[in-house]
Structure 1
Amino acid sequence: MNQCTAVALLPPPDHLFALSFPGHRPEAGHVLCELGDGHDERHAAMLWDEGGRPGSAVWIRWKGSGTATLTPLPWCPALDPRNEACELFAAHPSPHSWHITDPTDDAITEHLTHQHPDLFPEFSDRDRDSDQDGS
């Protein structure tokens, strides 16, 4: 499943304006939803994690072009067959993170694999195998 393409503009918190140097105002930044495409109407992106403790990850949640809220959420407890944790919050509305692919990241990786096969041997081997099969 592809990653959701919703984007939100996150203005800097007010306290950053007070801490900024004159002439160097903080700028708003964009966040991209990390959930799978077709999830419920609330989008989510993780902003930071305070060390992996329960509820230590701070997520931004937003709906449409409405107001975004910062929310501490616990990590999803699910593990994949390789014993790797889901990278989303508990009770997230989409499939687990290992089922979500970022098409932009995939396209960049494919391009770089062809440009620099020595940097991506795991992908280069797969491409050689498919070339030999005629696919």
Structure 2
Amino acid sequence: MNQCTAVALLPPPDHLLALAAPGHSPEAGYVLCELGEEHDDQHAAMLWDEGGRPGSAVWVRWKGSGLARLTPLPWCPALDPRNEACELFAGHPSAHSWGITDPTDEAITQALVRQRPHLFPEYRDEEGS
């Protein structure tokens, strides 16, 4: 499943604006939804994790072009067959992170595999080299 392509403009927090030097205000930045396509109308992107404790990951959630809000969410407890954890929050809609493909990242990887196959041994069998 491809990654959702929704983006949101996230303004800098008020406390950061208050600490900024006069004339040097931080700018807003864009966040990209990390969920798989065809999820519910709440988009999500992880901003930071404060140590892996339950509820320690801070996510930004938004709906359509509406206002984004920050919220702490616990990590998804699911593990893949290699015992690697899902990189999304508990109760997330759509597929687990290992089933979501960023199409841009995949296109870049495939171009690099063709140019420098020796750097990507995990792709050798798939590419027939």
Partners of 1:76 and 1:42 lie apart in 2 by 17
Matched with 1:119 is 119
Which protein shows a greater Rg? Answer: 1
Partners of 1:32 and 1:97 lie apart in 2 by 14
Matched position secondary structure for 1:71:
strand
Matched position secondary structure for 2:128:
helix
Q: Percent identity?
A: 78
Partners of 2:23 and 2:120 lie apart in 1 by 43
Q: What RMSD in Å do the two structures reach over aligned CA positions?
A: 1.2
Matched with 1:128 is 128
Give CA-to-partner distance per residue, 1:82-103, whole Å, 9 cap, x none. 1111110000011111111110
Partners of 2:65 and 2:97 lie apart in 1 by 24
Amino acid at match of 1:74: P
Matched with 1:96 is 96
Shift of 1:125: 3.9
Give the gaps of 5 or more residues in structure 2. Answer: none
Partners of 1:96 and 1:62 lie apart in 2 by 19
Partners of 2:14 and 2:119 lie apart in 1 by 43
Partners of 1:11 and 1:124 lie apart in 2 by 43
How many residues are paired up?
129
Partners of 2:80 and 2:121 lie apart in 1 by 24
Matched with 2:9 is 9
Matched position secondary structure for 1:47:
strand
Partners of 2:44 and 2:59 lie apart in 1 by 6
Q: Which runs of 4+ in 1 moved over 3 A?
A: none
Matched with 2:84 is 84
